Every structure is written in C-alpha cells, then in structure tokens.
Structure 1
Amino acid sequence: MCGAELKSLPEGVQRVAAALQAKGHPHSPVMLDDAARTAQQAADALGIAVGQIAKSIVFRRKSDDAAVLVITSGDRRVDEKKVEALIGKTGRADAEFVKARTGFTIGGVSPIAHATPPVTLIDRELFRFEEIWAAAGHPHGVFRLHPRDLEHLTGAPVADVVQVVVAV
C-alpha cells in the first residue's frame, strides 16, 4: 500500500489501515459488500467459523471511566466477573461512550487505532484458530490476522475472560 488507495476508505478504516501498516502487519483491511455488525454476519460473509471472528466488546471501568476492550472469540460470551477480577468493577458502555472513547461505532470497533487507548484484554479462546478476522473500524471493514498478532498490535495480555462452555 502506498497510501493513495486509503483515501476512498471510511475514516475509521483509514486509521486502522495506517496502524496496521505502521506495525508492519501483512494484511490490509477489506470492505465487505454487506455490513457485518455481528460475529455471525461477519463469519457468514467471510465463509469461516463464527469463533474465528475476533469481536471487540467495550465496557466502562467504574473507578476511572476508562474504556475496557475485551477482544473475544465470536462464539464465546464475556464473563464480566472474570474481567472485573483482572481490571476492577465495570459497567455497560452505551453507543455514545463507545464512539467517544474508541472513535468507532458499535459493529465496527477495531482492536486497534482507538481515539483513546483502552485497557485491553485478549480472550485466550481465540488461540484455537490459526487465522482470525477482526473489525477494521467500520461495519463493512475487516482484516485478517493470527491470534498472536493481537498481542503485537495491542500490547495487551491474553487472559481467561469468557464464560465456561458446557457441552451438550
């Protein structure tokens, strides 16, 4: 990428593309034909398992009003008690808070290139997969990566932050 082709992308995707490029990430964002606001929609559009979607869930830490980003596997649910044990009491983050702190709208929150750097945790369940995809700053934008790339791109720790899956 030389930079000129970024100009036609939405602003959030441009920020993500620039951050990926700055970190030497080999995969640029791609724009999907349809919005992928949920992990299932993204997985369907990409033809992959829903667990391969690295979904970004934002919480609001009560002690300092910081954004807390949990990057989790698309087929898992965040266990808020586990998150709180690691970073303190949290609450729900509404759309206005998410947009103000991350610079992205819900459904397009990228794990990188936030307006204000969040407290970030990476779900260890993502490491079940060789390849994953994450939002690239817009509901139509995604980028490909390996789970280990998340550590390099975010500097965040890997943790057990999801609910226990019960086999039926």
Structure 2
Amino acid sequence: MNEASVAGDSVSRVRAALARAGHPDTVAAFPAGTRSAAEAAAAVGCDVAAIAKSIVFRAGERPVLVIASGSNRVDLGKVAAATGLAVKRAEAGWVRDTTGFAIGGVSPLAHRTPPVVLLDEDLFALPVVWAAAGSPAHVFSTTPAELLRLTGGTRATVRDDAAG
C-alpha cells in the first residue's frame, strides 16, 4: 500500500468519525502540506494559535493526546499533573502504530487506541480552530467546544510558560 492510499484511509477514518458524531464534514485538503502548525496556518489563512495541534505522549503503553494551540509549547509536567500519569515523549513509529496516524497528520479523533485526551485551555479563547484530519495535507475546522465533545477530553492548562 502506498503512502497516498494510507493517507486516504486515515482521512476516510476521520470523516467517518465526524459523521458518526454528527459533525459536518469540514475536511479540506492542502496539497502543499499542513505538517506543522505554521504550515497549516498559512494554508488555512488563520493565526497559528487557531491550529489545534495533536501531540501524542506515552504513559507506558497508553497514548496521551494533547490538543494544543499551535502557538504553544506543551509542558510535560503539566500534562503529567493533569492526567495523573507518568508521561514521556513518544517515538514516531509508536505514534503511527498506536494512533493509526503519521506525525504531522495525527487527528484529534478516530485513533486506533483510544487516548487520554487533554485540550489546551488557550484554545477556548478562539471561535474556530483547525485540526489535522488524518494526513499531513488535510485539516478540518470546528469549535473548541465541539472538539471537546468529539474527543471526550478534559480542558487543561498545558502551555509551557517558560518557552519563549
């Protein structure tokens, strides 16, 4: 199976999850790529803060998904405190195997293994956010409240205040 068909399957999985949740299909494709928050913001035409980036951490064999504002770095200590889990950075292969998504295209929903989910409190100051839709070239738009509903996550302060 080639990379394009794998990405297509991942995007289809996200579209199906959105439909099951009663969310409109707002998936948009950007062939130039949306791999980073800066690339996604440039493609969509929004501020980097409105990109809801998905960062997967590892707590043993359990995935912990932090959906952070694109302008924020995540404080691992705050993630551990909010989840009560010992978390560490996850390797790319483990992320792909566990979530079903490659880094750069990790969606906030439709994971192979349901993660513990935290949503960055800073996202809730925005009317609309954009999140990866299963590939490094697809995103979907939603509201922070809908993202919370879709993921079953918990609001948390995760911003690294020391990052400049």
Percentage identity across paired residues of the two chains: 47
2:113 is the alignment partner of 1:120: no
In 1, are the aligned partners of 2:132 and 2:138 still within 8 Å (CA)? yes
In structure 1, the residue matched to 2:48 is 50
CA distance in 2, matches of 1:166, 1:104: 27
Structure number with greater Rg is 1
In 2, are the aligned partners of 1:132 and 1:144 still within 8 Å (CA)? yes
SS in structure 2 of the partner of residue 96 of structure 1: helix
CA distance in 2, matches of 1:166, 1:97: 26
In structure 1, the residue matched to 2:157 is 160
In 1, are the aligned partners of 2:37 and 2:51 still within 8 Å (CA)? yes
In 2, are the aligned partners of 1:27 and 1:145 still within 8 Å (CA)? no
Q: How far did 1:26 drift?
A: 1.9
CA distance in 2, matches of 1:165, 1:19: 36
Provide the aligned C-alpha RMSD in A.
1.7
Change (3 A) 1:166 1:68: closer
2:78 is the alignment partner of 1:82: yes
2:107 is the alignment partner of 1:110: yes
Query: What is the TM-score of this pair, normalised by structure 2?
Result: 0.92
Amino acid at match of 1:82: K
SS in structure 1 of the partner of residue 42 of structure 2: helix
Q: How far did 1:165 drift?
A: 6.8
In structure 1, the residue matched to 2:64 is 68
Amino acid at match of 1:92: R
In 2, are the aligned partners of 1:79 and 1:162 still within 8 Å (CA)? yes
Query: What is the TM-score of this pair, normalised by structure 1?
Result: 0.89
Query: What stretches of structure 1 move > 4 A for 4+ residues in a row?
Result: none
Unaligned runs of 5+ in 2: none
Amino acid at match of 1:109: V
Q: How many residues align?
A: 158
SS in structure 1 of the partner of residue 33 of structure 2: coil
Amino acid at match of 1:127: F
Q: How far did 1:161 drift?
A: 1.1
